[in-house]
Amino acid sequence: MKKLLALLCLCGLLLTAAACSAPAPADASVPSATPALPSDPDIPPDATPTPEPTPTPVPDPIFDGEIYHIFFHCLIAFPDISYKNGKSPLDEDCVLVDEFKRCLQQLYDNGYALIDINETFNVDADGQVTRAQVRAPAGKKPLILSVDDMVYDPRKLGNGMVDKIILDDEGKIATYTKHKDGTEVISYDNEIIPILESFIDEHPDFSIRGARGTLALTGFAGIFGYRTDRLTENQAEEIAAVGPIVDAVRALGWTFASHGYGHRHSADITEELFLDDTTKWRKEVENLVGPTQIYVYPYGQYVTTGGVKYQTMLDFGFKVMCGVSHEQVWEEQGNALFMTRFGIDGYSLRNYGKRLAPLFDCSTVIDTTYRI
Which residues make up the interface to Zn ion (CB under 5 A)? 148-149, 298
With respect to Zn ion, which residue has the nearer C-beta, 84 or 265? 265
With respect to Zn ion, which residue has the nearer C-beta, 207 or 258? 258
Q: How far is the CB of 232 from Zn ion (least distance, A)?
A: 21
Rounded CA-CA distance 322/214 in Å is 12
The answer to whether 216 and 147 have CB atoms below 8 angstroms apart is: yes
Rounded CA-CA distance 293/314 in Å is 9
CA 275 and chain centroid, separation? 28
Q: How far is the CB of 298 from Zn ion (least distance, A)?
A: 5
With respect to Zn ion, which residue has the nearer C-beta, 79 or 298? 298
With respect to Zn ion, which residue has the nearer C-beta, 148 or 367? 148
Is residue 249 classed as helix, strand or coil in its secondary structure?
Answer: helix
Rounded CA-CA distance 360/112 in Å is 10
Q: How far is the CB of 153 from Zn ion (least distance, A)?
A: 11
Rounded CA-CA distance 367/359 in Å is 17
Write the single-letter amino acid at 239: I
Helix (H) or strand (E) holding 7: helix 2-21
The answer to whether 262 and 185 have CB atoms below 8 angstroms apart is: no
Q: Mark 229-241 as b/e (b = at least 16 C-beta within 10 Å).
A: beeeeebeebbeb
With respect to Zn ion, which residue has the nearer C-beta, 212 or 341? 341
Q: How far is the CB of 217 from Zn ion (least distance, A)?
A: 10
With respect to Zn ion, which residue has the nearer C-beta, 60 or 153? 153
With respect to Zn ion, which residue has the nearer C-beta, 199 or 318? 318
DSSP states of 325-357 = -SS--EEE-SS-EEEEEEE-SHHHHHH-HHHHT
What share of residues in the chain are helix, strand, coil (percent, to 5)? 35, 20, 50
Q: How far is the CB of 300 from Zn ion (least distance, A)?
A: 9
Q: How far is the CB of 339 from Zn ion (least distance, A)?
A: 16
Q: How far is the CB of 2 from Zn ion (least distance, A)?
A: 37
